[in-house]
Structure 1
Amino acid sequence: MKKFLDWRHIPLIIIAALTAAPLFLLFSNALKPKDEFQVNPFGIPSRLEFQNIVDAWERGGYGEAFINSLIVGVTCIVIISLSAGFAAYALSKLQFKGSNAIMGILLFILSVPVGLFLVPLFFIWKQLNLMDSLLGLILIYSAIFLPFNIFLLRSFFVAIPNELLDSARIDGCNEFQVIYRIMLPLASPAFLTVVLLVGLWTWNEFFFANAFIQSEELKTVATKYLAFTGRFTSDWSMLSAAGVITILPITIIFVILQRRFIEGIAEGSVKG
């Protein structure tokens, strides 16, 4: 008879418990009455106070923040998917002089800490009037996240047989048709991984959003939470509710698509 619990599962259970405990505490405190938090901050709430979520949404101005984050995220997804897709196709399937040098440059960019770009970007963006604008933030995110996604897509494209592409060209397809009819359907798991990664990064990114966005009406979700902690420090139930509002949408999306996401990452690492 097969054992219900193998000893090798014990470390996984411990890691899962340590990971889930802070999230459980966050959700518990978000729905806990304000007076009860001071008495029992680590316990289960005696009643669920959903009004905390409503108050945090209104006081924090999360309606505008959600729209701003969606605008930034969707635009970056489109830009990066198109740019990384064409670049990865060229680097994996088209033989041209200097491709190895381009790969080296991209690898070097990945090794540079993003914080080093802050001061030069600040002066350049100020001259270009891109400070305190969503367009400026979108351009920064697209440039920062593009190299990794080029490598990710390239690892998928390399594994696609060149014979398929040659047969499509013989049938009269140009390079754009080859990408659309052959590469895109076969590499759809890779593009889904890119969409999820870019969505997660842009939603959670705080460093550049806090440095380049000053107007309250242009704040993203991550920066709104920082402002929330400064204004309502003593109200921990409200603070926890703001945390739930921040992480819940992206958590739901990740849970729904996690299998495809993990498969995409695994296939890309093996094929690359």
Structure 2
Amino acid sequence: MKNKPFEIVSRHFFLFCVFLFAVGPLVLLLMNAFKPKEEFLTSPFGLPSKITFENMVAAWTEGAYGQAFINSLLVGVATIIIVCISGGFAAYALSKYEFKGQNAIMAFLLLTMSVPMGLFLVPLFYVWQNLHLMDSLVGLIIIYSGIFLPFNIFLLRSFFIGIPKELLESARVDGCNELQVFMKLMIPLSKPVFLTVALLVGLWTWNEFFFANAFIQSDELRTVSTKYLAFVGSFSSDWSKVSAAGLISTLPMVVLYLFLQRQFIEGLTEGSIKG
């Protein structure tokens, strides 16, 4: 019994270190965002003696984060709609029908998931220039949809496989066509996995930097991730504002995940178990 506290500490020490590694930077960012500039210079790792919102207000206005938020929301919502609709139809066909070339399509989707996306940068840059999609949110939405579709098709398909075919047959006997079967039966039964797909795509599009930085040049079209880079370059001497800008960039997705983490985990686990 004397060694029990030591066993508990040693057992959870590694988890505690991982927790500090994951949460520590966020806590430091939060403290410095509400810390006066002069106090940050003297105590960058200490608690703020007083809470000030000046950094948050200045970062929002001087960094023009309002337009960046609108751009990121437009790109995220449009990509979510495209991935959910097209990915849902593709997953439905791949899970409930047998047709020639099905295995080839699955192999192609798996191949696109394994290839680094950076390899597509040069050909995409050339094609997008000829299609006049450079420096356009529409062009960025198309790129994101193509990048995120393969994984989410597999995720949706693994969930759809677990839905009994007898339910679909009974709906067809009742007079439903294939579109009605999908809309009135598959979607209501698959709400958890569709919510997971929406959350995944929303997080990815919000945080994606590589393609957004390469294909968006206009300052008024920048998304939140690229706007933060521009802000750091302009205010690198004022780390209180930089911390506030970082908090503004990350806080929406952190809050969204905290509210929807149960549905997110349920959608992933149900899909993996049924697949």
Whether TM-score is above 0.5 comes out as: yes
Render the CA deviation track for 1:77-125: whole Å, top value 9, x for unaligned: 0000000000000000012111111000000111110000000000000
Are 1:196 and 2:220 an aligned pair? Answer: no
Select which of 104, 107, 112 maps to 1:109: 112
Select which of 13, 31, 36 maps to 2:34: 31
Are 1:150 and 2:153 an aligned pair? Answer: yes
Shift of 1:164: 0.6
TM-score by length of 2: 0.95
Report the equivalent of 2:96: 93
Render the CA deviation track for 1:157-208: whole Å, top value 9, x for unaligned: 0011111111111111111111112111111100000000000000000000
Q: Note the 1:69-148 alignment, pairs <5 A.
A: 69-148=72-151
Shift of 1:39: 0.6
Are 1:11 and 2:10 an aligned pair? Answer: no
Shift of 1:271: 1.6
| Separation (CA, whole Å) in 1 of partners of 2:201 and 2:212 | 15
Report the equivalent of 2:271: 268
Report the equivalent of 2:259: 256
Shift of 1:131: 0.3
Are 1:162 and 2:155 an aligned pair? Answer: no
Shift of 1:18: 2.4
Are 1:240 and 2:256 an aligned pair? Answer: no
| Separation (CA, whole Å) in 2 of partners of 1:160 and 1:116 | 37
Residue aligned with 1:130, SS: coil
| Separation (CA, whole Å) in 1 of partners of 2:12 and 2:268 | 23
Render the CA deviation track for 1:125-159: whole Å, top value 9, x for unaligned: 00000000000000000001011100000000001
Shift of 1:21: 1.0
Report the equivalent of 2:227: 224
Select which of 19, 22, 27 maps to 2:25: 22
Shift of 1:266: 1.4
Residue aligned with 1:172, SS: coil
Letter in 2 for 1:264: G
Query: Identity of paired residues, percent?
Result: 64
| Separation (CA, whole Å) in 2 of partners of 1:71 and 1:181 | 28
Gaps of 5+ in 2: none
How large is the Cα RMSD of the aligned pairs? 1.4
